[in-house]
Structure 1
Amino acid sequence: MDHPFLADTFIIPWHLLTPAQIQPDIELALKNAQARLDAIADTPLESVTFENTLLALEAATEELTRGWGSVGHLDSVSNSPALREAYNAMLPKVSEFYTRISLNEKLWQVIKAFAETEEAKALTGTRKRLLEETLEDFRSSGADLSPEKKKQLEGINAELSRLTQKYGENVLDSTNAWELLIEDEARLSGLPQSAKDAARESAKSKDHGSDEKPVWRFTQHMPSLLPVMKYADDESLRKQVWEGSIGVGHKEPHDNTDLIWKILEQRQAKAELLGKANFADLVLERRMAKNGAAALEFTEDLHARIKDAFAAETDELEAFKAEQTGQPQDHLQPWEVAYWSEKLRKKRYDLDEEELKPYFPINRVVTGMYDLVERLYGVKIVQRPTRFTDPESGEEQRFDEGTPSADHVVAEVWHPDVKFYDLLDNDGTHIGSFYADWYPRESKRGGAWMNYLRTGGPLPDGSVAPHLGLMCGNLNPPVGGRPALMNHREVETIFHEFGHLLHHLLGKVEIKSLNGVNVAWDFVELPSQIMENWCWEKEALDLFAKHVDTGEPLPTALLDKMLEARNFEQATATMRQLSFGKMDLDLHTNFKNHEGRDLDAWVDESLEGYRAPLKTKSPAIVRRFTHLFSDPTGYAAGYYSYKWAEVLDADAFTRFKEEGVLNAETGKDFREKILQKGNSEPPEKLFHDFMGRDPDQNSLLIRAGLMAEQH
């Protein structure tokens, strides 16, 4: 295989995808893609057709998108100095290539010429949608700019790719650079045994300590950090971990402060070049919100409706700490909030999250989640055997867990922890496959995400090409040969990412660029967030919430406590999300009014009334906020969309609640009207088709316990 990154194979040979192959493969893909684009641009204007313009344009970059997608994926899950160097060497060239597509004057004239033909005017359905979206893509990317301004835009896009890549590297490197070694076990008082065991395993993996003199190692990865902040009785330990967290992306040589200003400056320049007042207006023009002002209005409206409840929760927590310590009521320190919140929650509901963990072993949760999806959407999920080949030694490990596929091809994975599954329709048709990679590694970026590697869908001959995707997380790893146990929030995370993945895998759109998650960003979280609802329903929990040792289902008494505690400090949680959205929108609408200011002072001013008063001010989270700054666009000016889509998911789930949470007919409707449709129709229409009406914003507040249900 001379060019493994470009191989049009469904089963990807990951061990051949080495850093040394990146440059030759991607340069060839760039050359091939340019030749295809040139051929389209040379089409005589009187001979343009849907086939030789729009469909040809779809196909022109497919090889490059496939190859570069694999490079980007490996950068996320198997980062290394060699890979990083090869990725960064090609990044400007790839960014420049994609920027130039919309700025290619000859190509734009061909597309516009087709748009004026009778064939174009007669298009319907998905084909009409593709024409509309393509014209908008070109216009919003600068196709109508002067040659001089096009050159400027190319430079801005290349610079944004470079700056945001460096930002992400700084977050990863500073996260990995921090560790805290504890030798005195007394300092771990309050920590659950599972967290202590994980810290001990982490220390062993780095050759710290011995059986006679054990050492416990803590990092800035969430499964390590969170238990300390919630449970550690030693305040100085919590403070040390908090100080570590605010240092991510904030200390030399990994300080992102200057990069943030440069990224904001480039985004503002891009917006102005394209005729918009700010980056938010540019990004949101084709999303449901339409502009920054509407997104801000949505955020401020929700803020106004919950601010009193938020203030009451803040006061209650301060009063609780005062009562427990016998000290006068005062504001909390940032390293005290999670600790005293957990104490209050446990006292009020008599619920210890550690009691729940044995009922959420990852293998049972995943199997039960697949069972749930099979029932709802009429599909079958089958695990396939895998193998891992070490790229350096060439040694192969075989994992026979799973059922061989019809072709008996064993799926290769990029790490031994990774699993591979086939998704079959109820008639046995292979509609997709996916990888699952759940545990943290130093070579893997933080957080949880879904991505796609191949887009299939209906073919002209009536057959279906399978989709290929993946979901990744950073969950508590197994310890001491025991299955990994999850807290309930991690269960929701797995369901969330699988919702995104199903959106891709179940897509039935004939045009690949309109499939799955390629939708308006404030709609894309609907399929993922609605999945989290089943993590709270008894009928669904009975499928997967079973004790790791006995297999006994989650006891009713524990479930009742869990449901009672569901909306504990819900105003605080909602306000936290709103604060991220507000900060994001301010950064991307008001840059010109704040350029050159102290970054933390600007954020503090922006979030007045959105954060609880604390004794010690935390530096702005923006320095480690990869959602906003590790991609040229990403969630920038779009973080509000989590709450926007939460309104949609809370409302849409009311239909499942009314008709049955495991009702296959309702599931079939959701699959056919939302999941299969991708971007083949406007999101407002898709939602209306499923619900029979427009969204009701009150559904979110009612679910959160912040508003009484109306009858």
Structure 2
Amino acid sequence: MNNPLLKSYNTPFQTPPFDQIKAAHFMPAIEEAIKEANLEIEAITSENEAPTFENTVEALEFSGKKLHDIASILSNLNSAETNEQIQATAREASPLFSEFSNNIFQNTRLFERINAVYAKKEELGLDKEQKVLLENSYKAFKRNGADLNVKDKARFKEISKRLSELSLSYGENVLAETNEYELVISEEKDLSGLPDSAIKQAANTAKSKGKEGQWVFSLQAPSFLPFMENADNRKLREQLYKAYMAKANKNDARDNKTIIQEIVTLRSEKAGLLGYASYADYVLEERMAEDKFKVQKFLDDLLQQALPKAKEEVSEIKAFIQELGDDIDLQRWDWAYYSEKLKKKKYAIDDELLRPYFKLENVLDGVFQTAEKLYDIRFEELKNIPVYHEDVTTYEVKNMAGEHVAIFYTDFHPREGKRGGAWMTGYRDQYRRDGEDIRPLVSNVCNFTPSSPGNPSLLTFNEVTTLFHEFGHALHAMLANSKYASLSGANVYWDFVELPSQIFENWCYEKECLDLFARHYETGEKIPQEYIEKIKASSTYHEAYATVRQISLALLDMAYFSLDHEAAQSIADITKFEEGAMASTELFPKVKDAMMSTQFGHIFAGGYASGYYSYKWAEVLDADAFSLFKEKGIFNKEVAKSFKDNILSKGGSEHPMELYKRFRGRAPKIDALLERAGLK
């Protein structure tokens, strides 16, 4: 087979040749790349010279590049443009990746060489980044079973392999449930309250599904959210909400509850094999938060600040419902609807008022201009980079001297082959080798309101902040300046990784930034000053409620993974377990069959297990960090250079707290977050 994955990429900037890659190419390429990587490992372990940093630690860091590249392409396609063949390939490849990883970390001769270098670390004259790589390498072996006996090593391998299979199945079930559901509306009266943009999009969806003359709403965010916020038909809101919250919780072949029980049990067993009391103890050892007790205290303290205010916000909505004369008891499917109505009343602002000023192409240009003003980089669209779908656009990122910085892919609209949400990913991390600076390939993938015939893609303000958020992650990857890929860009402690993304959202609320791009898509008129003031005034609207919601998810995450193995095995009922974990944050009556656990992909199909708290943790950092920009000027070059040099470019090459203190001049304080959220 003529396999493009096994050749040197004859493409601009050695980007993946998506126009040549087919699903059938992956397994042969993966098997060949594993053989190649194993030979590289064999070369390290059979080295006659005594172990050195260069011939062991650095050699291991640079090994397996071809396999890593192929795995990243498969993983990204399985998230952004999957199909049955890609999913089947991912399932087949997953145990091979696990076995390969386990074989490395449980390679006795390799660990002995790493250990020998580690024992002499103080005598080697290593620089900071080399020291971190050595420390990380040594810890990785210890944390992946290198010290276990033969029996426990075998069990550790079994667990790792099974967990990778379970995570894939979990994600496939959620995607299938999301794609399958349709709310089909045949009578125009049932569209009452919905904005024209939502109605037109639902009509286009119906037409694409052969249901012309009807309207189809889905569980994809650009369809689901406008319906929940605006549809006057309460029964249909209830129907759509219950469908959304019952994903993978129907006691059928796509039910995720048994998968959850097995994942929780296996993760706790894995941690126990390594001597940790729980999976959370294992994970948090490598986080800024350090242990589960600090995380719990952080969440409890924040909940104490937010819960009373959140209850006031719920009471305010109930009073507003009475004021309107609506004879209902407030339920979950009512919250977004009445919250949006009250917001319009209080601030005379809503998504439909703002959408005309947020044409997607203009917002993206604003993101680029913001990055240029802060970090002296610019973006040029390229037409010659192969892409995996026609929706994908590519850009070359350059510095002001015209030097190449990165390749940036954008993929912004929902489709059946793409999972929900928004994320940053990469096809190559930045690193340096043999005097060459290998620059990164970075991608932002989102699910924004798509354009339709005669209608451009007009974003909600929440979608604007999402684009800025994900682009903040992309900047972290693009501006990386490390020796080693494993320490480059966003390869940092999990509770630090959201700082670059969340801080970038802050610019969306500033007139100086909005004036760069927020123009009416028809008239070219700048967004009025009064709208900007309303955006800022409404920025803390129901922030306490949103904070409690985030805390509830973090508490659920910690509840699952703080269990010891015996307790994890004894979870008898996922529904009751979830209710107990989130009870302290509950503001509404329980809805039958509604469940977060069965669709909580962050912790069961992603990397956030024992780490969901990091969103709120990073908010403390981003609010505190942005306060310096506010003090000095949001486009202050000196502050921006310090943030770039001390945070964005450093990746994981130093401890994040040291990097943060170098930028800010002190440790972070929570005051700025409480003030910004209206909780102080």
Q: TM-score, normalised by structure 2?
A: 0.97
> Which stretch of structure 1 is more off in the superposition, 608-617 or 101-110?
608-617
Which residue does 1:101 correspond to in 2? Answer: 104
Residue 523 (structure 1) aligned with residue 521 (structure 2): no
Which residue does 1:17 correspond to in 2? Answer: 21
Which residue does 1:601 correspond to in 2? Answer: 576
Q: Cα distance, 1:6 vs. partner?
A: 3.7
Q: Cα distance, 1:146 vs. partner?
A: 1.0
Letter in 1 for 2:294: A
3-state SS of paired residue (1:434): strand
Which residue does 1:399 correspond to in 2? Answer: none
Matching residue within 553, 558, 568 for 2:541 = 568
Provide closer, same or farther for how the CA distance between residues 265 and 615 of structure 1 changes in structure 2, counting only shifts above 3 A. Answer: closer
Residue 174 (structure 1) aligned with residue 186 (structure 2): no
Residue 42 (structure 1) aligned with residue 46 (structure 2): yes
Distance in 2 (CA, whole Å) between partners of 1:486 and 1:523 is: 28
Q: Is the 8 A contact 2:118 2:135 kept in 1?
A: no
Distance in 1 (CA, whole Å) between partners of 2:430 and 2:311 is: 50
Which residue does 1:416 correspond to in 2? Answer: 390
3-state SS of paired residue (1:412): coil
Which residue does 1:624 correspond to in 2? Answer: 599
Q: Is the 8 A contact 1:629 1:636 kept in 2?
A: yes
Aligned ranges 1:395-406 → 2 under 5 Å: none
Q: Cα distance, 1:8 vs. partner?
A: 4.1
Cα offsets for 1:439-481 (capped at 9, x unmatched) = 00101111101111112344443x5322111010010000223
Aligned ranges 1:147-546 → 2 under 5 Å: 147-209=150-212, 214-251=213-250, 252-325=252-325, 327=327, 331-385=329-383, 410-461=384-435, 463-546=436-519
Letter in 1 for 2:117: F
Distance in 2 (CA, whole Å) between partners of 1:457 and 1:351 is: 46
Distance in 1 (CA, whole Å) between partners of 2:450 and 2:514 is: 22
Q: Cα distance, 1:41 vs. partner?
A: 1.4
Letter in 1 for 2:343: R
Q: Is the 8 A contact 1:103 1:143 kept in 2?
A: yes
Provide closer, same or farther for how the CA distance between residues 316 and 112 of structure 1 changes in structure 2, counting only shifts above 3 A. Answer: same
Provide closer, same or farther for how the CA distance between residues 120 and 135 of structure 1 changes in structure 2, counting only shifts above 3 A. Answer: farther
Distance in 1 (CA, whole Å) between partners of 2:433 and 2:54 is: 15
Which residue does 2:646 correspond to in 1? Answer: 673
Distance in 2 (CA, whole Å) between partners of 1:539 and 1:140 is: 47
Cα offsets for 1:536-566 (capped at 9, x unmatched) = 0000000111111111111011111121111
Q: Is the 8 A contact 1:331 1:613 kept in 2?
A: no
3-state SS of paired residue (1:288): coil
Question: What is the number of equivalent residue pairs in this alignment?
Answer: 673
Q: Cα distance, 1:230 vs. partner?
A: 0.4
Matching residue within 40, 55, 63 for 1:60 = 63
Letter in 2 for 1:669: S
Residue 703 (structure 1) aligned with residue 676 (structure 2): yes
Letter in 2 for 1:563: K
Aligned ranges 1:657-672 → 2 under 5 Å: 657-672=630-645
Residue 588 (structure 1) aligned with residue 592 (structure 2): no
Distance in 1 (CA, whole Å) between partners of 2:38 and 2:15 is: 27
Letter in 2 for 1:21: H
Q: Cα distance, 1:14 vs. partner?
A: 0.5
Q: Is the 8 A contact 1:125 1:680 kept in 2?
A: yes
3-state SS of paired residue (1:453): strand
Letter in 2 for 1:659: K
Q: Is the 8 A contact 1:519 1:679 kept in 2?
A: yes
> Which stretch of structure 1 is more off in the superposition, 111-120 or 543-552?
111-120
Residue 141 (structure 1) aligned with residue 144 (structure 2): yes
> Which stretch of structure 1 is more off in the superposition, 661-670 or 190-199?
661-670
Distance in 1 (CA, whole Å) between partners of 2:402 and 2:426 is: 22
Letter in 1 for 2:34: L
Residue 128 (structure 1) aligned with residue 103 (structure 2): no
Letter in 2 for 1:439: H
Distance in 1 (CA, whole Å) between partners of 2:511 and 2:135 is: 44
> Which stretch of structure 1 is more off in the superposition, 96-105 or 217-226?
96-105
Cα offsets for 1:479-514 (capped at 9, x unmatched) = 223320000000011111111111011000011110
Q: Is the 8 A contact 1:599 1:620 kept in 2?
A: no
Provide closer, same or farther for how the CA distance between residues 216 and 120 of structure 1 changes in structure 2, counting only shifts above 3 A. Answer: farther
Distance in 1 (CA, whole Å) between partners of 2:451 and 2:73 is: 28
Letter in 2 for 1:203: A
Distance in 2 (CA, whole Å) between partners of 1:650 and 1:263 is: 35
Provide closer, same or farther for how the CA distance between residues 30 and 510 of structure 1 changes in structure 2, counting only shifts above 3 A. Answer: same
> Which stretch of structure 1 is more off in the superposition, 373-382 or 2-11?
2-11
Q: Is the 8 A contact 2:430 2:489 kept in 1?
A: no
Letter in 1 for 2:163: L
Distance in 2 (CA, whole Å) between partners of 1:552 and 1:458 is: 46
> Which stretch of structure 1 is more off in the superposition, 570-579 or 81-90?
81-90
The percent identity for this pair of structures is: 40
Cα offsets for 1:660-684 (capped at 9, x unmatched) = 0011221111111100000110000
Distance in 2 (CA, whole Å) between partners of 1:585 and 1:531 is: 27
Provide closer, same or farther for how the CA distance between residues 52 and 119 of structure 1 changes in structure 2, counting only shifts above 3 A. Answer: farther
Distance in 1 (CA, whole Å) between partners of 2:6 and 2:505 is: 36
Provide closer, same or farther for how the CA distance between residues 149 and 366 of structure 1 changes in structure 2, counting only shifts above 3 A. Answer: same
> What is the RMSD of the two structures over their aligned residues, measured on CA atoms?
1.5
Distance in 1 (CA, whole Å) between partners of 2:278 and 2:352 is: 46
Letter in 2 for 1:14: F
Distance in 2 (CA, whole Å) between partners of 1:544 and 1:192 is: 24
Letter in 2 for 1:309: K
Q: Cα distance, 1:3 vs. partner?
A: 3.1
- Please list every run of 5 or more consecutive structure 2 residues that lacks an aligned counterpart in the other structure: none
Q: Cα distance, 1:55 vs. partner?
A: 1.4
Letter in 2 for 1:352: D
Provide closer, same or farther for how the CA distance between residues 326 and 113 of structure 1 changes in structure 2, counting only shifts above 3 A. Answer: closer
Letter in 1 for 2:307: K
> Which stretch of structure 1 is more off in the superposition, 239-248 or 467-476?
239-248
3-state SS of paired residue (1:217): strand
Cα offsets for 1:302-321 (capped at 9, x unmatched) = 01122211111111111211
Q: Is the 8 A contact 1:163 1:259 kept in 2?
A: yes
Distance in 1 (CA, whole Å) between partners of 2:581 and 2:604 is: 18
3-state SS of paired residue (2:62): helix
Distance in 1 (CA, whole Å) between partners of 2:677 and 2:121 is: 52
Letter in 2 for 1:26: I
3-state SS of paired residue (2:523): coil
Provide closer, same or farther for how the CA distance between residues 590 and 48 of structure 1 changes in structure 2, counting only shifts above 3 A. Answer: closer
Which residue does 1:394 correspond to in 2? Answer: none
Provide closer, same or farther for how the CA distance between residues 187 and 326 of structure 1 changes in structure 2, counting only shifts above 3 A. Answer: closer
3-state SS of paired residue (2:549): helix
3-state SS of paired residue (1:85): helix
Q: Cα distance, 1:615 vs. partner?
A: 6.4
